[in-house]
Chain A
Amino acid sequence: MDFSANYTNVEQAEDDLRRRSLAHMAAPLERMIYLGSTRDYNTGLYYHDGLSSRFSEMVACQALANCHREAYQQVLQSSIEDLVQQLDSYIQSTNSAPRDFIAAWKNLQPYRVAVPAETDPLAAEFLCSNVKIALSIWEVHQSGRSRQPLNASLPQ
């Protein structure tokens, strides 16, 4: 197999992925969770039907893995403030009830399994710690928001 041709294909597949599936996901956190979910946890391989049909399964897998690592690095470099905003944007995109979302994320910690393979354990732990803190801050903001209409309706 010609490695350079294959490399070009992977780049094209990454570009395709960014223009289609990832174009609607502004926040790196959202992209990381989505790309993590395209991975088979039994094999560690990534699958994407649309991308595989346009390229090949192997090229699609490599492109998904590269984009996953990229999104992970972006989340890792995000400040807590930025992460709170990313979390807010992600929760809005899922249309989940905030209370259910918080309960699920606190109990199941799905962000732990959304980390790419072969990442440094300390960096992965740092990312999870940041998401945990951002979630706590978002929860406080959310409870403040839900109280606001009630306070506004109180008689002066």
Chain B
Amino acid sequence: MIQLTFSLLVGFALLVILYFFARGGKVSAEGSAQQLREARQTLDSLQFGLLPGDLVHRIFATDDLEYVRQSAQPQVQSLFLSERKDISLAWVRRVRGAIVELMRFHRGHARLYARLSLSTELLLALNFARLLTVCRLLEIALYLRGPYAAPGMVRTVAGAAGRVCAISEESLVFLKASQINRLKNDPSHHGASV
């Protein structure tokens, strides 16, 4: 009975894997271009919107907290903490959302276009898993203990997200305008090098 159950489970797992392979193979040109554009937008939003060091520093800056504690009444202090909590939660949720989008893109499409080595893909998978876990933990910490609960975790999320962005950049580098212009101007790149 145990052997039968085990065999059934293995069979089911293989079917699931086959399903994902089959699904991954049916990538239409239009859908693929759309997903590439979306991945580029997600990456840009992460790099230029959510992860710039000065923005992250300001959101979680303790000097603001100290100033408000020293110079404001209790109700303004409560307002400040509540506003910062909302902003910090929105930040970590958006970073997590963007990472999930990038992970989905990599799982489905990146390997069709990019020349990523196996070790890079493994590194990327590990970074994704680690980052999503830390994002979730940070979200819980911010929700329960406020915006200044886990500065170390904020640094970890920002650092790991930066690494994921750098690796994702390799997959999407050909979508940059400068690269496209260079390809247009370089006669040796005529044809479908992308």
Contacts and interface: CB of A to CB of B under 8 A. Distances in A.
Interface residues of B, number: 26
A123 interface: yes
- Return the 10 tightest CB-CB contacts between A and B, nearest first: A120-B49, A129-B83, A80-B64, A81-B67, A136-B76, A137-B72, A133-B80, A126-B87, A77-B54, A80-B67
Interface stretch (B20-28, B55-63, B152-160): B55-63
A76 B58 contact: yes
Given A120-B48, A123-B55, A126-B58, A133 B63 contact: no
A133 B58 contact: no
B133 interface: no
B83 A77 contact: no
Given A80-B68, A126-B58, A133 B76 contact: yes
A140 B71 CA distance: 9
B87 A129 contact: yes
A122 interface: yes
A122 B72 contact: no
Contacts of B45: 120
Secondary structure at the A interface, as helix, strand, loop or mixed, is helix
A125 interface: yes
Contacts of A80: 64, 67-68, 80
B36 interface: no
Contact of B83 (A76, A122, A132, A137): A132
Contacts of B72: 136-137, 140
Given A136-B72, A137-B68, A137-B71, A122 B80 contact: no
A133 B50 contact: no
A48 to B, nearest CB: 27
B144 interface: no
24 contacts: A77-B54, A77-B58, A79-B61, A80-B64, A80-B68, A80-B80, A81-B67, A120-B48, A120-B49, A122-B50, A122-B87, A122-B90, A123-B49, A125-B90, A129-B84, A129-B86, A129-B87, A133-B83, A136-B79, A137-B71, A137-B72, A140-B72, A140-B73, A141-B71
A29 B1 CA distance: 74
